[in-house]
Structure 1
């Protein structure tokens, strides 16, 4: 923001994803040397103000925080601008509602800061190269087990139960809450592809959708900035691949990302199919905003090997895969919630 004061004093506050306890450790460790104390205090206070909600309209104007935080008007606006400059807060104006819209962003972590030349440079200038390496090594050792990089060899439900004997119009969530086994390329098409397609095609009833709503956080974003559709499933169906990726990432794509997407589109033709790869990759790896294409490429290569070609077939296949994997099932549930809302409205 270029101005010291805001156009609209009352505001709506939301958060991009979730801010966990580990994010505050990253905030204190990586940002304390480069941010003013007032900026960190404002960030923590805004998060507390949400009180666990995804979005909240203010009951007070922004400058009332002057009283609560014991800051001057100049200090609180300087803190806000510093959070914006370091990517921890996005600020928008909703002229129709006469509101300022704040969106809190999670701090960088020990891995992602290495890819952010701007923040990395400032941190090194403040604390020195040796101290910087010490901080990064310390943070990364605390998070050295990345399940996304490991091969999942857990047993599949299909090894234990004869799927043909089951009533699968509405599969029991408890029964199918297991992980798919890793299978070598020699396993037949029927055992791998059709089982996921069958599970993915099974529709969820209203009771199951209501349970999903209680179990997962599925915010509908404001249609501002890169967000063209508040319902991400509608965005998946209607946006170009580039626009869809930009909405999920909330940033412009790099030239490399654009080229990669064009390659995928040239094979499948239907942009909705490529949007499925983009959606599942970004949602299943929320901390890989700069490396998401390697996960999308894995889905692209996997689906390409199945010889499936239609959007419905591929959606069923990926749904079946995600709904039977413990670490991915929340992504599936969130997508089903938005799909259910979209289908009821259209």
Structure 2
């Protein structure tokens, strides 16, 4: 999560068309949770996607402070709230030194009812009776479970409020988001579903996620699905054979980028071939896969290399900042 943007110049993209009915859903279902500032920012960013052809399409985030009459802290708080409910993705383009905002379509009443975390938050905000009046009183199997999700709602509140304690918890955690060897599958799946609902995977850069994410979470981040029993067993078996999650993740990534889905039989074969060749370390696996997929689809390899370069550059920038900070202390 970025409390302030690295690069104030930005562009706006839409994942899919957002029409008047979508904006009505935004105001109706999200305004009670997010407040008016976030709704105004969303609608303004959406308007910027309709610029005339002669304009550059590059805007200055700081200029929104006077265009929307918000100071920069309120503006960033509004942005973070939009991100926390998966209405906005904030991407950093290190090469062009700009920010890319991607607007997502708001959920309609049906989608909102099925998203238990958001439904719980709305119930908590306005009460059950007002919620039913807003949504309609038709019975829904998902809503019947809402009263059992108090603990989940509390976690969502922490994320929604951008609690500093949560940031510390992540920074002090181990390499993986959750070590699945210590947590059973049902608990893992609950956390994965929460992340899918809210798009709160910790590492938006796919290459960083490949290196740092538990393979069950990475499978879901890439495919948008909860791993089934075959995938879970495949991960466990290949861990026992010496593969690190990063190696398994890289295979998941390449398979999805090449086929639009993760094919169990194909992943199993690739892992088996690598094991037979005794190519188990991440460095060996990456070399083999770069060669394999580079010959088949150079664009997939190029995309991976771009994510890798961006991640490595961010490490270099952070290291430089750390060294500068150390020098200040010494001086």
TM value normalised by structure 1: 0.43
Which structure has more relative contact order (CA 8 Å, sep 6+)? It is 1
The structure whose residues are more often helix, as a share, is 2
TM value normalised by structure 2: 0.44
